[in-house]
Chains A and B, each alone.
Chain A
Amino acid sequence: MSVNLQSRVIELRRNLLALGALVEQRVACMINVIRDGDVELARQVRTGDAEIDQMQIELETECMRLLALGSPVASDLRLILTAMRVSNELERIADMCKGISKRVIRMVDSGNYRYPPSLLQMANAAATMLSDVLVAFSNEDIKLCLEVRHADGYVDELNREVVVWAREWIAQDVGKTAAALELLAVSQRVERLADIVTAIAEDTVFLVEGRIVRHGAQ
């Protein structure tokens, strides 16, 4: 089983990175949706989730199989545990993209699609974080993981700017309250997306060093 376990662990890592690449594409589409208010693309993002869901289920099933049959330890065990968490986190990122697209469609349909530059900066920052964390996972690069974790603070700051901007928008025209709330929902999801990417960075630290650094631990 041990030789088999080794090859299957390598395949697991490869499949996880393939899921990551797919989610990365989804996030890039989400940025275009926000930037351009592209309803058609938004609809594609909303309906294109099945492939990611299926990949996530397959990865989780493979992890369970390896845990049950391969008796993994040390780096193999850490990879399998990390793959279970990260595949779930990537699937949630795709869900966030879906939710963001849904809100943009509503805003565009209502004829009130406006947003501050900080929203696009947030989305771009979150996308960069995702790309970096996938590189960090692939290269087992702890330094890059910690940079990703640090970048989450920048996204939080931009989110606060969007909140202030939305408040001003409502204050200027109370009739735009519904659209402003949709905008806040979009911003909140981008902020949450960056949080999930941060969790992946923390999972990667566990993968490499066996240290659990979630919940603010160093």
Chain B
Amino acid sequence: MTAETPIPSTVTSSSTAGPQVTIAPARPSVQGQTLAAAVRETAIKVRGFSSWYSSFQALKSLDLEMHAKHVTALIGPSGCGKSTFLRWINRMNDSITGARASGTLELAGVDLLSQSLDVVDLRRRVGMVFQKPNPFPKSIYDNVAFGPRLHKVYTRAELDELVEQSLRQASIWNEVKDRLRASALSLSGGQQQRLCIARAIAVGPEVLLMDEPCSALDPKSTLAIEELIETLADRYTIVIVTHNMQQAARVSDHTAFFFEGHLIESGATEEMFTRPKNKQTEDYVTGRFG
């Protein structure tokens, strides 16, 4: 073998290392670039929001915006304040002695902390679905019709129509349409939870709050609820508390991570689960603590 004299070279460097290159800032996500995202409506606005149970401060100066007709997941370890925060959105904490809050909490510009706020009307605008299905010991029909009857006088035909539409929206109509007069307690756990969702949406809310809505359900019912959440997000602003990271990743558009009463990080779910900015978020979503 022979190493020949090279043809005149243009190479001037023998090093493989080039000059330092400045790292460009991370590109915004596609979601972040869309016009729709730029002009999306803020349904719930939170500024400097704190809350206490007597002397214990449960939430510490939260700043957060939840977008209309989007799903926002609240995640964090037990006791971090996410359920407390959820309950402030429809003033359920009012009944707890010593519970108080400060700062701004607005729904479509309405101050939710105002003492003059009509809480009954608020709860029509902000529906709630709990961890454990809680149908009334009434018929399936009466469960759905219960809320509308409180708020307005309907004709029988109007009420029938409303019940059917609510059950259809909650993806349970086909399963119960032939036994609307049967007891709601005869339904399975997953069906009961969808019935509760139908009951919540029958009064025409803007916001649906869901506090671990699938934690008492089997995988099949959980899937049904998750699919339902995706469908409902076309009409309602949904805020869901969940301990299931995969569920938060699957169903939500935005995720907010709470820890010890602080809002550590919030952002597009895709970002939060692929490249969170905060180390605590990273450690929590990867299961390193919590």
- A contact residues around B55 at 8 Å (CB): none
Complex Cα gap A144–B129 (Å): 51
Check B273 against A73 for contact (C-beta < 8 Å).
yes
Which one, B61-69, B106-114, B184-192, B279-287, is touching chain A? B279-287
- For B282, the closest partner residue in chain A by CB is A74
Which one, A21-29, A60-68, A75-83, A89-97, is touching chain B? A75-83
Complex Cα gap A128–B282 (Å): 33
Complex Cα gap A209–B26 (Å): 8
B1-31 vs A, Cβ < 8 Å mask (1 yes, 0 no): 1111111011101101111110110110000
Q: A6-B288, A161-B9 are in contact. Are A116 and B4 (CB under 8 A)?
A: yes
Q: A74-B274, A115-B4, A117-B3 are in contact. Are A125 and B16 (CB under 8 A)?
A: yes
B249 interface residue per 8 A CB criterion = yes
Check B18 against A73 for contact (C-beta < 8 Å).
no
- B contact residues around A113 at 8 Å (CB): 1-2
Check B274 against A76 for contact (C-beta < 8 Å).
no
A89-114 vs B, Cβ < 8 Å mask (1 yes, 0 no): 00000000000000000001000011
- A contact residues around B26 at 8 Å (CB): 209-211
A218 interface residue per 8 A CB criterion = yes
A11 interface residue per 8 A CB criterion = no
Complex Cα gap A216–B285 (Å): 31
B275 interface residue per 8 A CB criterion = yes
A50 interface residue per 8 A CB criterion = no
Check A128 against B16 for contact (C-beta < 8 Å).
yes
B246 interface residue per 8 A CB criterion = yes
Check A74 against B6 for contact (C-beta < 8 Å).
no
Most A CB contacts (10 A, CB to CB) among B4, B16, B273 go to B16
- For A210, the closest partner residue in chain B by CB is B275
- B contact residues around A164 at 8 Å (CB): 7
Q: Which B233-290 residues sit within 8 Å CB-CB of chain A? A: 245-246, 249, 273-276, 281-282, 285-288
Check A150 against B18 for contact (C-beta < 8 Å).
yes
Q: Which B126-152 residues sit within 8 Å CB-CB of chain A? A: none
A142 interface residue per 8 A CB criterion = yes
Complex Cα gap A210–B285 (Å): 15
The prevalent SS among residues of B at the interface is: loop
- A contact residues around B11 at 8 Å (CB): 118, 121, 154, 157-158, 161
Check A154 against B288 for contact (C-beta < 8 Å).
no
- For A104, the closest partner residue in chain B by CB is B1
A129-151 vs B, Cβ < 8 Å mask (1 yes, 0 no): 10010000000001100111111
Complex Cα gap A125–B18 (Å): 12
How many whole Å from A75's CB to the nearest CB in chain B?
A: 6
Q: A74-B286, A146-B23, A210-B274 are in contact. Are A154 and B7 (CB under 8 A)?
A: no
Complex Cα gap A3–B11 (Å): 51
Check A71 against B3 for contact (C-beta < 8 Å).
no
- A contact residues around B282 at 8 Å (CB): 74-75
Check A211 against B27 for contact (C-beta < 8 Å).
yes
- A contact residues around B13 at 8 Å (CB): 154
Complex Cα gap A77–B6 (Å): 47
Q: Which A176-218 residues sit within 8 Å CB-CB of chain B? A: 209-211, 217-218
Q: A2-B286, A71-B245, A73-B286 are in contact. Are A142 and B17 (CB under 8 A)?
A: no
Q: A71-B245, A73-B285, A117-B4 are in contact. Are A153 and B18 (CB under 8 A)?
A: yes
Q: Which of B4, B20, B274, B287 contacts A114 (CB 8 A)?
A: B4
How many whole Å from A36's CB to the nearest CB in chain B?
A: 7
Complex Cα gap A168–B4 (Å): 12
- A contact residues around B1 at 8 Å (CB): 36-37, 108, 113-115
Could you list some 20 contacts between A and B, CB below 8 A?
A3-B287, A72-B286, A73-B285, A74-B285, A77-B273, A113-B2, A114-B1, A115-B1, A117-B3, A117-B5, A121-B11, A129-B16, A132-B16, A146-B20, A149-B21, A150-B21, A161-B9, A161-B10, A210-B274, A211-B26
Interface residues of B (CB under 8 A from A): 1-7, 9-11, 13-14, 16-21, 23-24, 26-27, 245-246, 249, 273-276, 281-282, 285-288
Known: A116-B3, A147-B17, A150-B19. 17 other contacts (CB 8 A): A2-B288, A5-B287, A6-B288, A73-B249, A74-B274, A74-B286, A75-B282, A113-B2, A114-B2, A117-B3, A118-B6, A132-B16, A146-B20, A154-B18, A158-B11, A161-B11, A210-B275
